Amino acid sequence: MQVGGQAVGERHDDGEDHGGRADDGGLDQDWLRGCFERVAGTVVLFDIFFGALGASSPCSSDGALIAITCAMRLTAMAFIAVCTSPAQFTSNVPLVLAPVSVVDGKGHYVDGLTSEDLILYDNNVPQKIQLDWSEYPISLVVAVQASANSGAVIDKLGSSGILFSQLLAAHGGETAMISFSDDIRLHQDFTGDSDKVTGSLRMLRKEGDGAHILDALEYGLAMLEKRPAGRRRIMLVIAEKRDRSSEQTLPAVMARAQRTNVTVYWLTWSPFLQPFTVKPKTMEDLKPEATRIKKGMCAGCRQPDDRGAPFDAGPGSAIYAIGELARLQQPDLSGVFTRTTGGRTLNFLKKGALEEAVQLVAQEVHRQYLVTFQPRSGSDRAFHTVRAVVRDRPELVVRTREGYWPVD
């Protein structure tokens, strides 16, 4: 089974499993029990044999006998490692990844479900699924819109690096950060250092008038596609909902997202209201952060420039409003990508709501069930709808990707 580029179970074209793992994505219990019984029996025989020879602590004594004993024990330990490791392979059929979130009526996540509890439908046909219990480290790309109407959002992001790297990417995770407007810029390559992510966010500046969202998605997907096997791939977009002037096309970018099994989350805002949600700026605030004077150190020292900066209306003009009305005819990319990859769109206005949205995304990512299934061979190229339910638990709310387009 291929999840985010990692082979985590084997499925051949004959439809049967060939890898020492149960259908539910866990280890085969009978095989695992027998494996441990053989290892335990071997270790006991070692101890009886060398105990009879008077070597009560084989690995703490000297001599050839002890060297042989230690080698045998190391062999047994290696055997245990082989028993407990999942079969690794490269799948030769495309699998669909469907992250599944299950909550009760109060919004609390429901844990402990198995593949027998979950039913997943592809075009209303129940599928044979595999449920992966492994906790894969996360590779996260944060893509921030840095166009002229994003100034208020950029101001809110300055101290959010720790949320992305430690809360969302979490232990063993890595975060990269790009910005986009008329061009795409890489500000921070993949790193587990939250200070580097925070520093790159604080250096963000408005860069142009465009919103090349599809180009940014393509760039981020290409970065994730190159990450090592065995990592979950997530892209968090902080942007408007509609594209302006991208060179990439929606079908091409969507096909790449499908092939790489990337889950897209989207934090979006109202371009008209954002300029009114930040405190008035001073001329000192307009300087690069490295050259700003926080406060005068002494009476004779240079003082910060506290003159009020001109109000940045951003998208507040009538001409901009007319352009935005015309853009409403374009597709809502936030909905298209999050619904079809299993992510989620959240709106925010103020900084507190932005940080809460990141926390909600992190909570969901780390409480999901990773479900995969093999589409029917020779299935048509039309969009397939996907839905999931919990068997005999109609009161539970189940959310997963709304569908997929078959890809080669």
Contact 342, 99 (CB under 8 A): yes
Tokens of 207: 């860069």
Average pLDDT over residues 143-153: 87
**pLDDT at residue 301, rounded to an integer:** 73
Q: Can you give the C-alpha Rg of the chain in angstroms?
A: 27
Cβ atoms of 128 and 115 within 8 Å: the answer is no
Question: Can you list the domains of the chain with their CATH numbers?
Answer: 1-6+94-240+249-269+333-408 (3.40.50.410), 29-84 (no CATH)
Q: Taking residues 323-328, what's their average pLDDT?
A: 50
* Percent of the chain residues topping a pLDDT of 90: 40
Bigger pLDDT: 1 vs 398: 398
Mean pLDDT of 108-129: 95
Q: Which of 17-21, 228-232, 281-285 has the highest mean pLDDT?
A: 228-232
Mean pLDDT of 338-354: 90
For residue 275, what is the DSSP state?
A: G
**What number of other Cβ atoms are within 10 A of residue 279's Cβ?**
7
What pLDDT is stored for residue 114 in this prediction? Answer: 94
For 379, other C-beta atoms within 10 Å of its C-beta total 11
To the nearest 5 percent, what fractions of the chain are helix, strand and coil? 35, 20, 40
pLDDT value of position 282: 62
Q: What is the mean pLDDT of residues 155-177?
A: 85
**Structure tokens belonging to residue 145:** 């819109």
Residue 312 reports pLDDT greater than 80: no
Q: Which of 77-81, 149-153, 166-170, 368-372 has the lowest mean pLDDT?
A: 77-81
pLDDT digits (tens, 9 = 90+) for 292-309: 666 656 666 777 766 765
The pLDDT-based confidence of 83 (bands split at 50, 70, 90) is very low
pLDDT of residue 59: 42
- Band of residue 289 on the pLDDT scale cut at 50, 70, 90: low
Specify the range with the lowest mean pLDDT, choosing from 85-89, 238-242, 370-374: 85-89
Poorest-confidence range of 49-58, 196-205, 284-293? 49-58
**What is the pTM (predicted TM-score) of this model?**
0.67
Neighbour order of strands in the sheet with 369-373: 129-132, 369-373, 96-103, 397-399
The lowest-confidence range among 159-168, 297-306, 335-344, 356-365 is: 297-306
383 pLDDT above the threshold of 70: yes
Question: How remote is the C-alpha of 109 from its chain's centroid?
Answer: 18
Roughly how many angstroms between the first and final C-alpha of the chain, as a whole number?
A: 16
Compute the average pLDDT of residues 134-156. Answer: 87
Cβ atoms within 10 Å, residue 82: 11
Query: For 88-101, how does the pLDDT look when each residue is reduced to its tens digit (9 = 90+)?
Result: 323 444 788 999 99
| Sheet arrangement for strand 138-145 | 184-191, 174-180, 138-145, 232-238, 262-268, 345-347
Per-residue pLDDT, 316 = 46
Looking at residue 304, its pLDDT comes to: 74
User: Of the ranges 7-21, 24-38, 160-174, which is most confident?
Assistant: 160-174
Q: What pLDDT is attached to residue 43?
A: 44
Q: Report which of residues 42 and 265 the model is more confident about.
A: 265
Question: Taking 80 as the threshold, does the pLDDT of residue 265 lie above it?
Answer: yes
The pLDDT-based confidence of 385 (bands split at 50, 70, 90) is: very high
Q: What is the mean pLDDT of the chain?
A: 74
**Mean per-residue pLDDT, 328-354:** 88
- Considering only residues 359 and 151, tell me which one the structure prediction assigns the higher pLDDT: 359
E strands along 193-289, which residues?
232-238, 262-268
Share of the chain above pLDDT 70, in %: 62
Tokens linked to 255: 């096909």
Count other C-beta atoms under 10 Å from residue 17's C-beta.
17
If one compares 64 and 191, the residue with the highest pLDDT of the two is: 191
> In sequence order, which ranges of 85-233 are alpha helices (DSSP H)?
151-157, 161-162, 194-202, 213-225
